[in-house]
Amino acid sequence: MTAVTEHHAESGHHEAPEAISRRDRMGVLLLIFADAAFVGALVFTWFYLRTLNQGGNWIPKDVEVAASSQSWIVTGVAGVSAALMYLGLVAVRKGKVKQLLTFALLALVVIIADLYLQIQALDSFPFTIKNGSYASTMFALAGANIFHLGLTIFLGIGIVNRIRMGRYSQDDHGHVREVTYWWIWVAVASLITSFATMYTY
């Protein structure tokens, strides 16, 4: 008895591209949902500790706060990068794979620059992690954003490499779409934390 497996040569998989795309999309959406819960917990911690402020431990008298402009610059650059990646997705949907490569490369360069800006912002904090609840929460939020940006860079390198190898087309670009979802979420998460940290006092 011989089992016959349908092979989709054009996609390089034994399953239909539509089935693979649905599964990948669900996986990325679940990842974003889980990460949103993590970001939500960090923001809740920020407001909880700020409101609780037992004995002036939120911001001790001798502690200087970080400039809010640093956070907004990082958020703005993340938004530009996400917009570039989205333009790449729009391009490949129209069959313009060369434009996809251009936009993906630009998005990758911008997000790498954003990681540098975030590390610089963290390094320039005028406090240490032990200087009260505000300081420790700021380090936690900055660390979470560094993780987000680092993972996005890793995914971006993979996507750019696969574009160069000719893996995507107008009819088969599921990975580009899923990575773009994540890219946009990272910008939104940065926006959420920037808004939260405006309420320092």
Calculate Rg over the CA atoms of the chain.
Answer: 21
Q: How far is residue 180's CA from residue 164's CA, in Å, rounded to a whole number?
A: 17
Q: What pTM, to 2 d.p., does this model score?
A: 0.86
pLDDT of the residue at 25: 85
Q: Which two tokens stand for residue 200?
A: 């320092």
- Residue 14: its pLDDT value, please? 63
Residue 13's beta-bridge partner residues? Answer: 8
Which tokens belong to 178? 């899923």
Q: What is the mean pLDDT of each run of 10 residues along the chain (201 residues)?
A: 43 61 85 96 95 86 92 97 97 94 98 98 94 94 96 96 91 90 97 94 84
Query: CA dist 63 to 8, 58, 80, Å?
Result: 62, 10, 33
Question: In sequence order, what are the residues at sequence separation of 6 or more whose Cβ sits closer than 8 angstroms to the Cβ of residue 48?
Answer: none
Q: Among 69, 41, 66, which residue's Cα sits nearest to residue 200?
A: 66
Residue ranges per structural domain of the chain: 67-200
**Could you write out the three-class secondary structure of the chain?**
CCCCCCCECCCCECCCHHHHHHHHHHHHHHHHHHHHHHHHHHHHHHHHHHHHCHHHCCCCCCCCCCCHHHHHHHHHHHHHHHHHHHHHHHHHHCCCHHHHHHHHHHHHHHHHHHHHHHHHHHHCCCCCCCCHHHHHHHHHHHHHHHHHHHHHHHHHHHHHHHHHCCCCCCCCCHHHHHHHHHHHHHHHHHHHHHHHHHCCC
Q: What is the pLDDT of residue 4?
A: 40
Q: What is the pLDDT of residue 16?
A: 67
Q: Does domain 67-200 have CATH number 2.60.120.330?
A: no
Q: Are 107 and 179 in contact (CB under 8 A)?
A: no
pLDDT the model gives residue 81: 98
